[in-house]
Structure 1
């Protein structure tokens, strides 16, 4: 689990496609340098989020670490676009005594989004993103949480018809994360707020259960409406 508060900006040292014959897939590996500040307590098998994607450390030294990236992760995230020299957001998995400054982030990226607009607003920057997989717009709400490339941000606007949303990034945050270096047309990782997905699932289960139960309030209400409509036609 993560907070969406970026600890360090690292740099891609190497992005390498793995040998399909040895891995059984078309995965990749990433080596990230400039990460000394988060490696002091690192162990093999630890989780570190790269641009909001939870990955497992397979090797490390004082300044850099290596992770494997699966086919599924490449399909869901922007990690496959990374090349040597690119900057990335880094965050270690939370410990028991961490202050929860952002919001609950799983590190399980839902989809990617394209930067379709950016403009200054005072000393802040306003960004607009368009989701690749538009169904996830249903979990994004005005003033709710969103995780963009591993950064916990507040949604300032949502267009459900066009599957776009906007955020505002203050000057302090601009110096701590990679988003301000992104340009129009770039893709970013998106993780919607887990709470919205849990609520939606519970509502679906409850509605499904009540729709099948002839004694439920929902079943009786729908039956009464249908009977009334049929009576009016007769």
Structure 2
């Protein structure tokens, strides 16, 4: 679990092919340097989010570490487009003493979105992102003033246009110097993880409605909800 508060930007220093033929396809190992700050308490097998993607440390020294990127991860994220020299956002997994400054991020990227506009507002940049037609259902979990994680950065959604499958965020000048998104151009892909709390809420509502439509305890479910509301109202009077 992560917070979406990027600790540092590292730099890709090596990319090498890996054979995942037994599980379907090929992947890569990525070696990331300039990462001393996130390696001071590192152990083999630890999780580090790279551009918001939870990856396992397989080798490390004082300033570099290596991770493996499997085929499924390449399909869902922008890690396959990385080149030697590219900067990447890095965040260690949370511990019990972490100040919780962002939101609950799993590091499980849903897909990538493309940058369709960048508007300089003086002290800030407003970015607009487009969700592909294939993943348009993710718009259900993107709401104005809600959380979203972009390349591992916890951000607040400004506006949402469901018809155009777009949403916008604003990034202040300080944040622009600490994360990779401002370095990207129009059309570039950004990893996105929508708020998992929205997924859980949606799943619960859908499940309840489906049971009601199937006649499985539908009336009982509604009755319980009504009883709870009436009990709360009576307690407050």
1:207 paired residue among 203, 206, 209? 209
List 4+ stretches of structure 1 deviating above 6 A.
Answer: none
Contact 1:157–1:166 at 8 Å: present in 2 too? yes
Aligned residue in 2 for 1:91: 91
1:28 CA drift (Å): 1.0
1:166 equivalent to 2:168? Answer yes
CA distance in 1, matches of 2:32, 2:107: 17
Aligned CA distance change for structure 1 residues 218 and 36 (closer, same or farther; 3 Å): same
Q: 1:122-142: per-residue Cα shift (whole Å, max 9, x none)?
A: 210000000122211111000
Structure whose CA Rg is larger = 1
Q: How does 1:214-225 map to 2 (within 5 A)?
A: 216-217=218-219
Contact 1:78–1:187 at 8 Å: present in 2 too? yes
Aligned residue in 2 for 1:197: 199
RMSD over aligned CA atoms reads 1.8
Segment drifting more, 209-218 vs 60-69: 209-218
Aligned CA distance change for structure 1 residues 14 and 156 (closer, same or farther; 3 Å): same
Three-state SS of the structure 2 residue aligned to 1:85 is coil
Aligned pair count? Answer: 220
Aligned CA distance change for structure 1 residues 42 and 218 (closer, same or farther; 3 Å): same
Aligned residue in 2 for 1:187: 189
Aligned CA distance change for structure 1 residues 104 and 219 (closer, same or farther; 3 Å): closer
Gapped runs of 5+ residues in structure 1? 221-234
1:14 CA drift (Å): 1.1
Contact 1:12–1:33 at 8 Å: present in 2 too? yes
Three-state SS of the structure 2 residue aligned to 1:197 is helix
1:216 CA drift (Å): 2.9
CA distance in 2, matches of 1:27, 1:21: 9
Gapped runs of 5+ residues in structure 2? 223-237
Contact 2:24–2:71 at 8 Å: present in 1 too? no
Aligned CA distance change for structure 1 residues 215 and 80 (closer, same or farther; 3 Å): closer
Please report the TM-score for the alignment, with normalisation by the length of structure 2.
Answer: 0.89
Please report the TM-score for the alignment, with normalisation by the length of structure 1.
Answer: 0.90
1:176 paired residue among 160, 175, 178? 178
Contact 2:5–2:101 at 8 Å: present in 1 too? yes
Three-state SS of the structure 1 residue aligned to 2:137 is helix
1:149 equivalent to 2:148? Answer no
Aligned residue in 1 for 2:34: 34
